[in-house]
Amino acid sequence: MTNPSPVLELDGITKRFGALVANDNISLSLAKGEVIALLGENGAGKTTLMNILFGHYAADAGGVRVNGKLLPSGTPRAAIAAGVGMVHQHFTLAGNLTVLENIIIGAQSLWSASLKINAATARIREISATFGLPVDPAARVTDLSVGEQQRVEILKALFRDARILILDEPTAVLAQAEAEQLFRILRSMAEGGLSIIFISHKLHEVMSASDRVVVLRGGKVVAERKTADTTPAELAELMIGRAVSRPKRQAHAAGAPIVTARSLSVSQGGGMHLDSVDFDVAEGEILGIIGVSGNGQAMLGRVLSGLARADAGTITFQGQDISRITPRQAVRLGLGRIPEDRHAEGVVGDLALWENAVLERLPEISRWGFVSRALARERTAALISRFDIRGATPNTRTRLLSGGNMQKLILGRNITAKPRFLLANQPTRGLDEGAIAAIHSELLQARAEGAAILLITEDLDEAIGLSDRLQSIVKGRLSTPIPAEKADARVLGLMMAGVWTTAQQGAKHAT
Residue 247 lies in a domain: no
- Pair (289, 177) in one structural domain: no
- Pair (203, 226) in one structural domain: yes
For the entire predicted model, the pTM comes to 0.73
Geometric angle at alpha carbon 8, from 7 and 12, rounded to 5° = 150
Which SS3 state, helix, strand or coil, does residue 168 take? strand
In degrees and rounded to multiples of 5, residue 58 shows phi and psi of -100, 130
Q: Which range of residues forms the domain containing residue 266? A: 257-334+419-509
Contact 490, 506 (CB under 8 A): yes
- Pair (206, 118) in one structural domain: yes
Last residue in a domain, options 240, 268, 290: 240
- Pair (70, 207) in one structural domain: yes
399, 400, 404, 407 alpha-carbon torsion, rounded to 10° = -30
- Pair (264, 187) in one structural domain: no
- Pair (64, 132) in one structural domain: yes
- Pair (82, 209) in one structural domain: yes
- Pair (102, 42) in one structural domain: yes
- Pair (56, 100) in one structural domain: yes
- Pair (96, 200) in one structural domain: yes
Domain with residue 441: its CATH number is 3.40.50.300
What number of CA atoms fall less than 13 Å from residue 497's CA on the CB side? 13
Residue 250 lies in a domain: no
- Pair (357, 323) in one structural domain: no
- Pair (33, 114) in one structural domain: yes
Residue 252 lies in a domain: no
Q: How many structural domains comprise the chain?
A: 3
Residuewise pLDDT in 10s, the chain (511 residues)? 345 689 999 999 999 988 889 999 999 999 999 999 999 887 788 989 999 999 999 999 999 999 999 999 889 999 999 999 988 877 788 888 899 989 888 665 545 534 578 888 888 999 888 888 888 899 998 888 777 888 888 898 889 889 999 998 888 767 677 778 888 888 888 998 999 999 987 888 899 899 999 999 989 999 999 999 999 889 988 988 887 778 889 888 899 999 999 999 998 755 558 999 999 999 999 999 998 777 888 889 989 998 888 999 999 999 999 998 898 888 888 899 998 888 878 899 999 999 999 888 888 888 887 888 999 999 999 999 998 888 789 999 998 887 778 889 999 999 999 999 999 998 988 777 888 888 999 999 999 999 999 999 988 889 999 999 999 999 899 999 999 888 887 888 888 888 886 555 555 444 3
Q: Which amino acid is at 394?
A: P
Q: Measure the CA–CA gap between 240 and 235, rounded to whole angstroms.
A: 9
**Ramachandran region, residue 297 (left: φ > 0; alpha: ψ -120 to 50; beta: rest):** alpha
Q: Measure the CA–CA gap between 129 and 123, rounded to whole angstroms.
A: 10
Residue 106 lies in a domain: yes
